[in-house]
Structure 1
Amino acid sequence: MTRPKPDARIRRQLCLGLFAGLAAGSLAGPLPAMAQGDAYPNRPIRVVVPYTPGGVSDAVTRLVMQKLAQRIGQPVVVENRPGANGMIGSENVARSAPDGYSLLVVVAGHAINPSLYPKMSYDPLKDLTGVSMIGRIPLLLVSSAQLPPTTVKELVGWGKANPAKMTFASSGNGSGAHLAGELFAQSVGMQMTHVPYKGISPALPDLFSGQVAIIFDSVQTMMPQVKAGKVRALAISSPTRWPAAPEVPTMAEAGYPGVTAGSWIGLIAPAMTPPAVQAKLAREMEAVLQQPDVRARLIDYGIDPVGGKPEQFQAFIKAEAVRWGEVVKKSGLRLE
């Protein structure tokens, strides 16, 4: 017996049902992790630097991303979106599609901002996720050469005896130098007065003359001033001595192991970026950071190359947020 053929109306319903089922399946979730990792990247990648062009963060990003582009065979376009302590560019990427084609380079302020700003339009720890740490940036504690202290212990003793003169400069409220100074004061039990400037350069004349006593800043910025005799390098915040300043003791060697202030720079992505894409980016970044010429350039910038897996970097960011959140809370600092 011959089975009757469905009429045109039924055939249309069957076709529509099949199409809807396929569409629903494609929208139900992302491609399998292996497929995403294999296909990525197949077009240019945008990397946002939420700071002004020409700074260390911008220069380091352009160096590393040029090498990354060579490895992945796709252009990597660096885009500067400065403003609001890095939050303008960061929000832009946080709101971008989590497909690995919009990435962000940040420094330590990324983890500190939630403690400083009570109202943020995005959540740095939930809307963005770590991919690869590019490197750690130790800070030098330097004092004016016009003042008596020549060691950290002498500085603490002098500062406690002269509280009105115990001032520290920074590049602005909430900056890495500011929070390093707050951590130092809290760790040694000393009252210090913060003097913010609009950048490091305006602070230097007052530091040279002794109008401000100390500053925490990068090796790259401060070592030329140390060699010129304008300031004294008392200690460095890294776990080990820095190759470009082997004569400068670590804070631990100086007797203050709790002062591990320093910045860092790293690559992050929107939070829902597929794990396989994050892992591939991290592997390629690791390979870039192992290149001798890249390592040499980063060390010249005062950066210790790191690399690592996405989950390691994200755990580090969260730990930094907690650590610096406690420093901010004790200091009573709030920014709007």
Structure 2
Amino acid sequence: MKTTMVRKLAAALCCSLLGTSALAAAEWPAKPVRLLVGFTPGGPTDNVARILADKLGSELGQPVIVENRAGAAGNIAATALKQAAADGYTLLYNTSSIVIAPWVYRSPGFEPLKDFAPVGLTAAVPLVLAVTTKIEADAPDDLAALIKAKPGEYNYASSGVGAIEHLTAAQLLSALGLQATHVAYKGTAPAQVDLIAGSTQFTTTTLNTAIGPVQAGQLKALAITSRERWSGMPELPTIAETLVPGFESLAWQGIVAPAGTPEPVLQRLNQAINAALASPEVRQKLDQQGTITLGGSVEDYRGYMAAEYERWGKVVEATGARID
């Protein structure tokens, strides 16, 4: 008799909790949603986040407010999200650094696959193999030949140790059996200034960062890291075409919520993300910045994050790109 009563109480409690969760999801969002960005205002990641936030606000019927928490390659914003309530009102516009950081930093402050609930994959930005105009290299093979002739004498710039620019260039050099010296800067801007001046010779940097100086003739773009050429520069070959078959490296972006966020809220958010990404206006704005529009389900993003976590872990191990 007591067992039967306990089971009935447990079932009632379960139904009550499920009902509460469903009710919360039905009422969500009842107030503005914060979208944390781990980088400075006006930067390429921030620009994409704001384009999407504006459209997401229209889809959800509540403002989506971008809040910049810059620093530590995005780790500050990610840690802030981990500490936020799991109610769908605080989200993070993350980059691929979210799965790279745990391999690079001893204590990044979060575990991406444990502390966050994937909501949706939004976009990806290819990287560009770019060189200073001070060297005689007009094609990927030219640069490879120069580096091969003088191992370790050519320098490549990145925005910091363990940044995707660093890891992509290191991975490319490793695949080609070449040696060059990494020069880490505190951000993309100073790295680009020295590359233009010729203090360093090459880099792999995001397309939306490279477009301006390449079009101004300050840098030379040799190849792109996506599998297909970009429509904005159709003459620019891929690295897979010219140097390493099958090579691809993308600085991808997405949105995550704190772990424990109700599944109905995640699904509602995911629907809004996909609707925003399907907007011709959004797609045009992103394409102008060299950004590939993605999308997909919550489950798709969960699997993608897990695969990328494993992939970049192997790259960091191979390159030794760690910060203690």
Give the TM-score of the pair, scaled to structure 2: 0.90
Aligned identity (percent) is: 36
2:132 matches 1:144: yes
2:237 matches 1:259: no
Measured at CA, do residues 119 and 208 of structure 1 come closer, stay the same or move farther in structure 2, by a change above 3 Å? closer
**Alpha-carbon distance between aligned partners in 2 of 1:229 and 1:121, rounded to the nearest angstrom:** 41
AA aligned to 1:170 is S
Q: Secondary structure at the match of 2:80?
A: helix
Whichever of the two has the greater Rg, that structure is 1
**Alpha-carbon distance between aligned partners in 1 of 2:116 and 2:54, rounded to the nearest angstrom:** 23
2:87 matches 1:99: yes
Shift of 1:111: 0.8
AA aligned to 2:160 is G
Shift of 1:30: 4.4
AA aligned to 1:152 is P
Measured at CA, do residues 263 and 47 of structure 1 come closer, stay the same or move farther in structure 2, by a change above 3 Å? same
Mapping 1:209-228, distance limit 5 Å = 209-228=197-216
Give the TM-score of the pair, scaled to structure 1: 0.87
Runs of 4+ in 1 over 3 A off after TM superposition: 26-37
Shift of 1:32: 6.9
**Contact 2:44–2:208 at 8 Å: present in 1 too?**
no
Measured at CA, do residues 97 and 27 of structure 1 come closer, stay the same or move farther in structure 2, by a change above 3 Å? farther
Match of 1:117 among 87, 105, 108: 105
**Alpha-carbon distance between aligned partners in 2 of 1:278 and 1:156, rounded to the nearest angstrom:** 46
Q: Which residue of 2 aligns with 1:202?
A: 190
2:184 matches 1:163: no
Shift of 1:26: 7.3
**Alpha-carbon distance between aligned partners in 2 of 1:118 and 1:202, rounded to the nearest angstrom:** 25
Q: Secondary structure at the match of 2:157?
A: strand
Mapping 1:263-302, distance limit 5 Å = 263-302=251-290
What's the RMSD between the two structures over aligned residues? Answer: 2.3
Q: Which residue of 1 aligns with 2:170?
A: 182
Structure 1 unpaired stretches of 5+: 1-20
**Contact 1:237–1:261 at 8 Å: present in 2 too?**
yes
**Alpha-carbon distance between aligned partners in 1 of 2:74 and 2:193, rounded to the nearest angstrom:** 27
Match of 2:52 among 54, 64, 77: 64
Shift of 1:31: 3.5
Q: Secondary structure at the match of 2:128?
A: strand
**Alpha-carbon distance between aligned partners in 2 of 1:283 and 1:292, rounded to the nearest angstrom:** 16
Shift of 1:27: 9.9
Structure 2 unpaired stretches of 5+: 1-8
Shift of 1:135: 0.2
Measured at CA, do residues 205 and 46 of structure 1 come closer, stay the same or move farther in structure 2, by a change above 3 Å? closer
Shift of 1:28: 7.3
**Contact 1:125–1:318 at 8 Å: present in 2 too?**
yes
Measured at CA, do residues 147 and 40 of structure 1 come closer, stay the same or move farther in structure 2, by a change above 3 Å? same
**Contact 1:165–1:212 at 8 Å: present in 2 too?**
no
Query: For this pair of structures, how many residues does the alignment match?
Result: 317
**Contact 1:139–1:217 at 8 Å: present in 2 too?**
yes
**Contact 1:187–1:259 at 8 Å: present in 2 too?**
no
